[in-house]
Copies of this chain bind each other. A is one copy, B any other.
Amino acid sequence: MALIVQKFGGSSVGDAQKIKHVANRVIETQRAGNQVVVVVSAMGDTTDELIDLAQSVAENPYNSPREMDMLLTSGERISMALLALAINAAGASSRSFTGSQAGIMTSAKHGDARISEVTPTRIREALDDGDIAIVAGFQGFNKDSKDVTTLGRGGSDTTAVALAAALNADLCEIYSDVDGVYTCDPRVVSSAKKLDSIDVESMLELAAAGAKILHIRAVEYARRHGVDLRVRSTFSTDPGTIVYSNLKDGAQMEEPVVSGVATDKSQAQITVIGIPDVPGKAAEIFTAVAKAGANIDMIVQNTPTGSDVTDRVSDISFTLPKADLQRVANALEAAKESLGYRELELDDSIGKLSVVGAGMRTHSGVSATLFGALAKAGINIEMISTSEIRISVVTSLAQLDEAARAVHTAFELDSDVEAVVYAGTGR
């Protein structure tokens, strides 16, 4: 008997009809001879409605993060109880559990807590009794204060993976309205192909590079704890995409050179021009940026130029989320004198394209193919960064989609059939 964790996102439980559909799907999984743990998000727009309510009673509700978590966790409480009611009404037996009842312990940071420990005693008991266990995603509790916490974006995916790890589950299925992991976002490249499988490291790079299908925290958790994931659609029987963390007994998986192409339109770029070429200047700049609370992605520094040694200056470019652009620029402007640079250049119309594949480790020529395809399509590259299994380039935002199509074709990822367009997943 296998133990399967199934996670259903907000759009999968968006109304009564969908909840009944999910109930049947869960019951089928149990009747096929499995123990089933279900993780659910809040129904459809519930979270937004609760945030609206909070803003109607308090100007800055996030000033009371403990209370915001108390409020928002009611969303999953509703969806999990409804799913349990639907499952019980359909003739199976289920019990629902809050994050706290499920033993999801977290750090203290309200709104963005990290899972520190999972002790799913009550889940085990429910499974041993033959029940389906339903668990609220996105939430846990702080062991010290006993306060309710939420996990931030991607939290429900992370709950599912953490439970799968703690229960030593055979599989963790992430259901949404997308039927798997594609070689590229089908909205950008209509010839994108669904992958039958992908290794967890490539998935991690894809998620980091902007693919929205799985949240990076959940993938990282799966990689670290060796949990196999299956990404599939709530509304089809397609087997979806397996994300392997474990290579089964000797069955060496053939790693494709390139698994997929990811695009990211959420980034902006700052170039700091004319930085005196003295040791420690880069560190000073990035300390100022970190203090402004921004997550930096790519960094490029050019070779210093200048007539003589005392005179030499260099430029540093880096990318960061668009939402952080102005704040970081202000922080750098404020420190202009002490940092000693000449000027700032801001660009909020950049795009990032990444090519990801575990096979890059052993295959050469990937960058040649990439740069060749971009050159042939007449696309200018502004920045480049690489990891062991990823190459990312920054282009202009206007050219990003065209670049993705050119690169997708160059790596022979194109499918014969047009892909179903998918939307992003919620929490």
Complex CA gap A88/B62 in Å reads 11
Q: Is there a chain B Cβ closer than 8 Å to A80's Cβ? A: yes
Partner of A66, one of B20, B70, B83, B95: B95
Q: Are A70's CB and B53's CB within 8 A? A: no
Across the interface, which residues of B come within 8 angstroms of A101, CB to CB? 146
Q: How far is the CB of A30 from chain B (nearest CB, A)?
A: 17
- Which one of A71-79, A237-245, A328-336 is at the B interface? A71-79
Q: Is there a chain B Cβ closer than 8 Å to A50's Cβ? A: yes
Across the interface, which residues of B come within 8 angstroms of A146, CB to CB? 101, 122
Name A146's closest neighbour in chain B (CB-CB): B101
Interface size range on A against B: 35 or more
Complex CA gap A4/B115 in Å reads 38
Copies in the complex: 2
Across the interface, which residues of B come within 8 angstroms of A61, CB to CB? 85, 89
Complex CA gap A17/B67 in Å reads 18
Q: Is there a chain B Cβ closer than 8 Å to A82's Cβ? A: yes
Across the interface, which residues of B come within 8 angstroms of A53, CB to CB? 16, 78, 82
Q: Is there a chain B Cβ closer than 8 Å to A188's Cβ? A: no
Across the interface, which residues of B come within 8 angstroms of A78, CB to CB? 50, 53, 71, 74
Partner of A71, one of B57, B67, B77: B77
Q: How far is the CB of A92 from chain B (nearest CB, A)?
A: 11
Partner of A80, one of B60, B68, B70, B80: B70
Partner of A63, one of B20, B67, B77, B88: B88
Q: How far is the CB of A150 from chain B (nearest CB, A)?
A: 12
Q: Are B57's CB and A89's CB within 8 A? A: yes
Q: A61-B89, A74-B78, A122-B146 are in contact. Are A67 and B96 (CB under 8 A)?
A: yes
A20, A64, A95, A101, most chain B CB atoms within 10 A: A64
Q: Are A85's CB and B58's CB within 8 A? A: yes
A-B residue pairs in contact (CB < 8 Å), sample of 19: A16-B56, A23-B57, A54-B82, A57-B85, A58-B85, A61-B85, A61-B89, A64-B84, A64-B88, A67-B84, A67-B85, A67-B88, A67-B96, A70-B77, A70-B84, A70-B96, A71-B82, A71-B85, A77-B77
